[in-house]
A and B are shown apart, each in its own frame.
Chain A
Amino acid sequence: MNDPFGTPDSVLVLGGTSDIARALVRRLVARGTKKVMLTGRDRARLDVVAAELRSDGADAVTSLEFDATDVAGAASIVDSAFAEAGRVDLIIVAVGLLVDDAQEERDPAKVAESIAVNFAWPAVALARVAEHLRSQGGGHAVVLSTVAAVRVRRANYVYGSAKAGLDEYARNLHQALAGSGAGITVVRPGFVHSKMTVGRPPPPMSTTPDAVAEDVVRGLERGAEVVWSPARLRLIFAVLRLLPEVLWRRLPM
């Protein structure tokens, strides 16, 4: 159950080592979240995050390991997580894989992997999450998207188009959930300094996992369907998404 201040009592993270998810959960724990279940690919790193959350005072457990390229297995991962956690008030979907290397983008296996991890796996997992939220009579999911999903750019079009699919999917699933007590918030950060982007030159208006987490917490508080981080990206992309293709592809980004 959320408390009256909008803080969920129990949280499930799919992709628990994501820097943004980690910052977000720490913030929620500071605001009163008691139970956290972490799932992801890398057991050792999940354990580190869980230990950190326990020292913050949460009852945090590392749970299932999964491989986000195994799209068919997504539903059963979600089922087991709910079976173990009981009621979950907030689900954070933070699986993702940045593919923006020109060589990799020409590799069919890499394209398949990017679409699996950035779109197919989270979409299947969300479908299952939605069913659990319906039957438990409420709950919320946060889906990490990206501004690159709003207007896909050439520099990382494989990643961007997969995220664009997830972004559209999650927002429409939110509409489909109307009246069920459940909902979905899509988060569109700009360039975030994190382990995903190490070594890449930051564009203007880059941000940090902590800043994104703060924006998400405030977005959840006001019931936002989409959270931009930083918030001014919303205005900028309102313009950029209308830009003619000839201009768009010449932009230095």
Chain B
Amino acid sequence: MPERVAVDPAPTTGAGRGSVGERPGDARLLAGWGRTSPTIARVLEPDSAAAVDAPLSGERRGCIARGLGRSYGDAAQCAGGVVLDTRRLDAIGEIDAETGVVDVGAGVSLDRLLRVGLRDGWFIPVSPGTRQVSIGGAIAADVHGKNHHRDGSFCRHVSSITLHTPGGVHEVGPEADPELFWATAGGMGLTGVVTSARVAMRRVESAWMRVDTEQHGDIDSLMTALERVDASHRYSVAWVDCSASGRQLGRGILDAADHAAASEVTGRRAARLLRPPPERALSVPPIVPRWAINPLTVAAFNEAWFRKSPSRPGHLRHLSGFFHPLDALANWNVVFGRRGFLQYQFAVDDAHRELVPRTLELLQRARCPVTISVLKRFGPGDPGPLSFPIPGWTLALDLPVGPPALRDTLRGLDEAVASAGGRVYLAKDARLGRDMFQAMYPRLSEFQAVCRRVDPEGVLTSDLARRLGICEDSSS
């Protein structure tokens, strides 16, 4: 399978290599999916769970695991230290025919797990907007999907994890050492290196989704509709036109869906009831000039997108088109050019729903184009101290770096989100400040206590952790 990771062309020759001396691993420039702030680390590719122990016990310049590099910011890089590329931990066990429970290696992508499962009618329990996420990454970010309002986030479907820490190997789960398990869920890899996990798959009759599409002309109508479909559909998501203003502010397209039963799939589709997602993805040539993405072109794109999706109840769509539309392009992140892009995703409770339209207005006023934005409902969150979801709303915005007002506008948003008791998603973040992070994640000290227990020397760290002071005890 082709590897699609956001690793910049690996410069392992000349000066880069000479500098690391005799220590093992190639020096490689690593960035997140947003391609901002790349740094160099030595990359090791352990081929067994045991092989992660040596760097964990001996590395003094820090160590962090990396999967497929789909965190947008600096979560899976560790400047000057060691990055453990987990992709060779790729075993998939037998899926229990009764319960759907399966043991998978941390480096297995959701894409591969889904393909293997689908043959026998099993689907992944939670799917983020891309299949190109590793199991380890899905746990570290406690990823959520379009079914969060009903099924919660990924770690709720994980019954045990093998976690390698500097202090030893732990088998943890919601019953076995729940404190360490939930700290690991959403802990951004800072409690240890997950080498394998036991995941419960979901039984499906087909690879097709029955989708109700509704076009809504303003944000109120869209949000009310999203609330309404919480009860009626397992999956729901809204695409928001961030260019529309005035009375059309926040107009968008709501997709509410459920897995289609075998009996609902007819015609040619019935012949390939469990059709896997397409194997091949197109590549985008990195030639889009910087000026091509501006408020005008983005507005034109949004207008076209809005119009091509009229309301349409009960149509069938393949799960790859419903869950992972952008996976059709292998490297869509390069269209934003050398400066890269940010994703800003926040969650607030129902009482602060007005923050959604206010965010759209703020970004419009600052002339910061939003290329893609997604609005979702969250159900109850996981018990993890750093797990992102809180019940209510979550809005995710793709923002090309470039508009001069972007930095201060996002800082202002941080403050609004924090004072609303909300938070920003660490898996997407590349820019949050320490003060805002601490305000948004008030249970940080619980997390740090777990870190001190399993990693007293502070070996586990990442550029994200250093930036936000995640592992440092701020009280000392």
Which residues of A are in contact with B by a Cβ distance under 8 Å? Answer: 1-6, 9, 31-32, 87, 131, 134-138, 176-181, 223
Contact = CB atoms under 8 A, between A and B. Distances in A.
A28 B465 CA distance: 23
Contacts of B340: 4
B447 to A, nearest CB: 21
21 contacts: A1-B79, A1-B463, A1-B467, A2-B37, A4-B342, A4-B401, A5-B401, A32-B407, A87-B79, A87-B466, A135-B61, A137-B79, A138-B79, A178-B15, A179-B12, A179-B13, A179-B14, A180-B15, A180-B27, A180-B40, A181-B38
Nearest to A135: B80
Given A4-B430, A87-B79, A181 B39 contact: yes
B36 interface: yes
Contacts of A137: 27, 39-41, 78-81
Given A137-B39, A137-B41, A137-B80, A179 B16 contact: yes
Nearest to B12: A179
Contacts of A177: 15
Contacts of A178: 11, 14-16
A180 B13 CA distance: 9
| The 5 A-B residue pairs with the shortest CB-CB distance in the complex, in nearest-first order | A179-B11, A4-B36, A181-B40, A137-B80, A137-B79
A150 to B, nearest CB: 26
B88 interface: no
Contacts of A176: 14-15
Contacts of A3: 36-37, 407, 430-431
Interface string B4-43: 0000000111111101100000010100001011111100
B338 A4 contact: no
A177 B17 CA distance: 10
Contacts of A134: 15-16, 19-20, 40
A31 B13 contact: no
B10 to A, nearest CB: 9
A179 B40 CA distance: 9
A112 to B, nearest CB: 32
Interface residues of B, number: 37
Main secondary structure of the interface of A (DSSP, over half): loop
B168 to A, nearest CB: 28
Contacts of B20: 134
Contacts of B37: 1-4
Given A4-B34, A4-B401, A138-B40, A181 B467 contact: no
Contacts of A136: 79-80
B19 A5 contact: no
B339 to A, nearest CB: 8
B406 interface: yes
B255 interface: no
B74 interface: yes
Interface in B59-79: 61, 73-74, 78-79
Nearest to A86: B466
A215 B228 CA distance: 54
B19 A1 contact: no
A223 B36 CA distance: 13
A223 B79 contact: no
A176 B40 CA distance: 16
A6 B342 CA distance: 13
A180 B19 contact: yes
Contact of A179 (B15, B342, B406): B15
B301 to A, nearest CB: 23
A127 to B, nearest CB: 12
B16 A181 contact: yes
Contact of B406 (A5, A32, A131, A180): A5
Interface in B317-346: 338-340, 342
Given A4-B34, A9-B467, A181-B38, 11 more contacts: A4-B342, A5-B401, A5-B406, A31-B407, A87-B466, A134-B19, A177-B15, A180-B16, A180-B19, A180-B27, A180-B40
B14 A223 contact: no
B415 to A, nearest CB: 15
Contacts of A135: 19, 61, 80
A21 to B, nearest CB: 23
A138 B28 CA distance: 11
Given A4-B430, A179-B11, A179-B12, A138 B36 contact: no
A134 B338 CA distance: 22
Nearest to B32: A4
Contacts of B80: 135-138
Contacts of B431: 3-5
A180 B41 CA distance: 9
Contacts of A131: 19
B407 A5 contact: yes
A181 B430 contact: no
A178 B27 CA distance: 12
Nearest to B338: A223
A153 B139 CA distance: 64
A109 B15 CA distance: 37
A36 B46 CA distance: 39
Q: Which of A1, A9, A135, A137 has the most chain B CB within a 10 Å cutoff? A: A137
